[in-house]
Chain A
């Protein structure tokens, strides 16, 4: 993970090389996130962030998109919205695709190669060519998504921990620890 600007100790900020690096990173971020409707202060993008679709993407403050090891995809259909809150960290290989609405609360950490999508994309039956209906996905504050987890639908409660390779298709309670596919909370598994 790349350290956020406000985590850097004060004395280190004085050297000219750090300042130059930060300036370059700021300019690069502005360029990489140019298709976003709104980008908050101190947000940072490293590496290739692939933003496509004509929907509205809003980034909060101090968002960190770390695509240094694998690209990040933000795909927003026209009329859809992706809203990413303050202090969110998104690691490489993650793909977020919105057909209607995806909102990610402040302080959420999204690990490598996660997938967040607000619908099935194609109908299970009938004509596969057409795009299926979608429901809003809400990820609340302080959620931790471990690598390779998939959120297809539902609402992930505050401070929930979603284990690696979990697939979420419905509501997750706040403070729950959940893993596996089908997803089961640790409390229930241990009971």
Chain B
């Protein structure tokens, strides 16, 4: 009798487990997502947030100024925590569906605006002030900033552009182009597809 009860309880528990954790892509995904949303809520408690902002790892947040996050902005956890710093009087806005890999550093003293669906690779760096220059940084929609790239003050990156890994961007990047090098030079995406500039 006790044995049968045990079996029933076990079956029940398995059913609950499947209900909570079942996801075809990866187990525990739903739980992780819920925890991530909770973590983001705590970390960005001083910021204005859209729905389902997610942080799957620790993010160091300094919200002295005004931080605005759109819907479903994602911060991924990993080797090194990301850093979002908005100093007093700064305006940092990140639009919906943008994603940030681990180790990203965003330092805002006046204005940084990041568009929709942007992707930031690991260890990339955006700042709008150096020792002798302060100017707003604008990153438009669908921009991909790859691993370890650095975006300097006063830069505007056009929609759909890609900043290659390890680049240091000091001048504006037109829309739909690839910025690569240190200092970065922009190449139209058509040339890249034709294989004219030898990337990858």
Taking beta carbons and an 8 Å cutoff, which residues of A are in contact with B? 50, 70-73, 93, 95, 113, 115, 117, 119-122, 124-125, 128, 148, 150, 152-153, 165, 167, 169-170, 180-182
Residues from chain A with Cβ under 8 Å of B122 in the complex: 95, 115
Residues from chain A with Cβ under 8 Å of B167 in the complex: 181
Residues A148 and B148 in contact, CB atoms below 8 Å apart: yes
Residues B79 and A93 in contact, CB atoms below 8 Å apart: yes
Taking beta carbons and an 8 Å cutoff, which residues of B are in contact with A? 78-80, 117, 119, 121-123, 142, 144, 146-148, 162, 164-167, 178, 180-182, 189, 192-193, 198-200
Residues B180 and A122 in contact, CB atoms below 8 Å apart: no
Residues A182 and B80 in contact, CB atoms below 8 Å apart: no
Residues B164 and A167 in contact, CB atoms below 8 Å apart: yes
Instruction: Look across to chain A and name the residue whose beta carbon is closest to the beta carbon of B193.
Output: A125
Q: How far is the CB of B95 from chain A (nearest CB, A)?
A: 16
**10 closest pairs, A vs B, by CB?**
A167-B166, A71-B79, A181-B182, A150-B166, A153-B200, A150-B165, A73-B79, A181-B166, A124-B162, A181-B181
Q: How far is the CB of A133 from chain B (nearest CB, A)?
A: 10
CA distance A169 to B165 in the complex (A): 10
Q: How far is the CB of A184 from chain B (nearest CB, A)?
A: 11
27 contacts between A and B (CB under 8 A): A71-B79, A71-B80, A72-B79, A73-B78, A93-B79, A93-B80, A115-B123, A115-B148, A115-B165, A120-B146, A121-B121, A121-B146, A122-B119, A124-B144, A124-B162, A124-B193, A125-B193, A128-B117, A148-B148, A148-B166, A150-B147, A150-B148, A152-B165, A169-B199, A181-B167, A181-B180, A181-B181
Instruction: Look across to chain A and name the residue whose beta carbon is closest to the beta carbon of B80.
Output: A70
Main secondary structure of the interface of A (DSSP, over half): loop
CA distance A122 to B122 in the complex (A): 13
Residues B144 and A128 in contact, CB atoms below 8 Å apart: yes
Q: How far is the CB of A119 from chain B (nearest CB, A)?
A: 7
Residues from chain A with Cβ under 8 Å of B189 in the complex: 124-125
Residues A169 and B200 in contact, CB atoms below 8 Å apart: yes
Contact of B182 among A71, A124, A128, A165 (CB under 8 A): A165
CA distance A124 to B198 in the complex (A): 14
Residues from chain A with Cβ under 8 Å of B162 in the complex: 124
Instruction: Look across to chain A and name the residue whose beta carbon is closest to the beta carbon of B142.
Output: A128
CA distance A122 to B200 in the complex (A): 12
Residues from chain A with Cβ under 8 Å of B181 in the complex: 181-182
- Given contact pairs A128-B117, A169-B198, A182-B180, a sample of 12 additional A-B residue pairs in the complex whose CB atoms are under 8 Å apart: A70-B79, A72-B79, A73-B78, A93-B79, A113-B123, A117-B147, A121-B146, A122-B119, A128-B119, A148-B148, A150-B165, A182-B181
Instruction: Look across to chain B and name the residue whose beta carbon is closest to the beta carbon of A149.
Output: B166
Residues B165 and A167 in contact, CB atoms below 8 Å apart: yes
Residues from chain A with Cβ under 8 Å of B182 in the complex: 165, 180-181
CA distance A75 to B189 in the complex (A): 29
CA distance A114 to B122 in the complex (A): 12
Q: How far is the CB of A30 from chain B (nearest CB, A)?
A: 22
CA distance A122 to B199 in the complex (A): 14
Residue from A71, A95, A124 having most chain B Cβ neighbours under 10 A: A124
Residues from chain B with Cβ under 8 Å of A115 in the complex: 122-123, 147-148, 165
Residues from chain B with Cβ under 8 Å of A165 in the complex: 166, 182
CA distance A52 to B148 in the complex (A): 21
Residues from chain A with Cβ under 8 Å of B164 in the complex: 167
Q: How far is the CB of B89 from chain A (nearest CB, A)?
A: 32
Using known A-B contacts A93-B79, A165-B182, A181-B180, determine if residue A122 contacts B148 with beta carbons closer than 8 Å: no
